């Protein structure tokens, strides 16, 4: 942990809503005049999209049907932990981006599902902000969570999480319901062993509990909004106060 170079991590499963929380923090940063170094969790996948497809096929041939983006074999956990450690000490480190779709890839002349080259984080940032799958991951080999100053878990009830993932992957990435369902099933082992345990290491967990019927997420036609969920998370005010306090320390 670091007073001079603090790290905030938003962690949650695919479809949990971590990006929505990130948008709130972006507004807070603008209002408070905080310069953040943004870090995408997907950029620490070990394989690009084509390589991952090939690797999954190889694992299935070996009888391993649990290989997924949620587990350590498909991610750079050690490199993520080292980046957090280095940033906390020096405010420096290397990052890259994972290009999810044509809209992200085309301006860079690259294909969707690939990575940009590694590059140095700009100097004089006030805070690092991570959003992704593994901001609080702890295994027998690596402890990412220990380096983070503010850890926030985003954990909707599971059916709502699946509704959000199905809606996003179908609408934004062109996947079929069957393809998304297969992904959910394949990831279940790693979800239990590498996603859920993170929420015991977070400082706070945001949960959305719908008060409408989400019994069958695989036939839902839209995502229930916060108006359909029990309670609202009081994020903006306490988070803004924490960020303002940390940024004032970092500028001393």
Over range 128-157, report the average pLDDT.
94
28-64 pLDDT, tens digit per residue, is: 999 999 999 999 999 999 999 999 999 999 999 999 9
- Among 87-101, 136-150, 151-165, whose mean pLDDT is lowest? 151-165
In this prediction, residue 233 carries a pLDDT of 46
Q: Is 95 strand, coil or helix?
A: strand
**Taking 70 as the threshold, does the pLDDT of residue 199 lie above it?**
yes
Please indicate, yes or no, if residue 242 is contained in any of the structural domains.
Answer: no
Over range 109-125, report the average pLDDT.
96
Please indicate, yes or no, if residue 136 is contained in any of the structural domains.
Answer: yes
The C-alpha angle 65, 137, 129, rounded to 5 degrees, equals 120
Give the DSSP letter of residue 19. Answer: H
Over range 162-176, report the average pLDDT.
76
Residue, of 243 and 137, whose pLDDT is higher: 137
Nearest to 148 by CA among 133, 132, 119, 128: 128
At 16, is the pLDDT very low, low, confident or very high (cuts 50, 70, 90)? confident
In this prediction, residue 231 carries a pLDDT of 45
Residue, of 249 and 92, whose pLDDT is higher: 92
Please indicate, yes or no, if residue 121 is contained in any of the structural domains.
Answer: yes
**Taking 70 as the threshold, does the pLDDT of residue 15 lie above it?**
yes
Q: Average per-residue pLDDT in the chain?
A: 85
Please indicate, yes or no, if residue 1 is contained in any of the structural domains.
Answer: no
Please tell me the total count of domains within the chain.
Answer: 1
CA distance 215 to 208: 15
In this prediction, residue 223 carries a pLDDT of 59
At 164, is the pLDDT very low, low, confident or very high (cuts 50, 70, 90)? confident
In this prediction, residue 232 carries a pLDDT of 45
At 237, is the pLDDT very low, low, confident or very high (cuts 50, 70, 90)? very low
Please indicate, yes or no, if residue 149 is contained in any of the structural domains.
Answer: yes
Please indicate, yes or no, if residue 250 is contained in any of the structural domains.
Answer: no
**Taking 70 as the threshold, does the pLDDT of residue 78 lie above it?**
yes
DSSP for 145-189, written as a single string: GGG-SEEEEE---HHHHHHHHHHHHHHHH---HHHHHHHHHHTHH
Nearest to 148 by CA among 87, 239, 228: 87
- Among 155-159, 217-221, 234-238, whose mean pLDDT is lowest? 234-238
Over range 69-76, report the average pLDDT.
96
In this prediction, residue 1 carries a pLDDT of 59
Residue, of 181 and 15, whose pLDDT is higher: 181
**Taking 80 as the threshold, does the pLDDT of residue 220 lie above it?**
no
How many helices and strands, by DSSP H and E, does the chain display?
A: 8, 11
Structural domain for 37, as ranges: 7-227
Please indicate, yes or no, if residue 233 is contained in any of the structural domains.
Answer: no
Percent of all residues in the chain with a pLDDT value above 90, rounded to a whole number: 62
Nearest to 251 by CA among 32, 1, 28: 32
Question: Among all chains, which residue has been given the structure tokens 């590498």?
Answer: 194
Please indicate, yes or no, if residue 232 is contained in any of the structural domains.
Answer: no
CATH code for the domain in which residue 128 is found: 3.40.50.300
H or E stretch covering 98: strand 98-99
Over range 77-100, report the average pLDDT.
96
Alpha-carbon torsion 207, 213, 215, 220, what sign? negative
């Amino acid at each position: 942990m670091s007073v001079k170079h603090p790290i905030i991590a938003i962690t949650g499963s695919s479809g949990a809503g971590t990006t929505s929380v990130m948008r709130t923090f972006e507004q807070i940063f603008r209002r408070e005049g905080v310069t953040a170094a943004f870090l995408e969790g997907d950029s620490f996948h070990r394989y690009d999209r084509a390589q991952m497809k090939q690797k999954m096929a190889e694992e299935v041939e070996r009888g391993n049907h649990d290989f997924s983006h949620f587990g350590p074999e498909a991610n750079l956990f050690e490199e993520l932990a080292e980046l957090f450690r280095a940033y906390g000490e020096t405010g420096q480190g290397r990052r890259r981006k994972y290009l999810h779709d044509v809209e992200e890839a085309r301006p860079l002349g690259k294909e969707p599902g690939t990575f940009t080259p590694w590059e140095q984080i700009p100097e004089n940032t006030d805070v690092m902000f991570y959003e992704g799958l593994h901001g609080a991951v702890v295994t027998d080999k690596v402890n990412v969570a220990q380096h983070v100053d503010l850890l926030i878990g985003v954990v909707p009830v599971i059916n709502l999480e699946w509704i959000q993932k199905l809606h996003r992957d179908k609408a934004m990435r062109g996947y079929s319901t069957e393809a998304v369902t297969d992904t959910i099933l394949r990831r279940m082992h790693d979800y239990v062993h590498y996603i859920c345990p993170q929420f015991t290491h977070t400082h706070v967990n945001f949960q959305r509990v719908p008060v409408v019927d989400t019994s069958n997420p695989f036939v839902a036609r839209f995502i229930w909004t916060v108006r359909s969920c029990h309670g609202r998370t009081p994020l903006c005010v306490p988070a803004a106060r924490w960020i303002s306090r940390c940024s004032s320390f970092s500028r001393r």
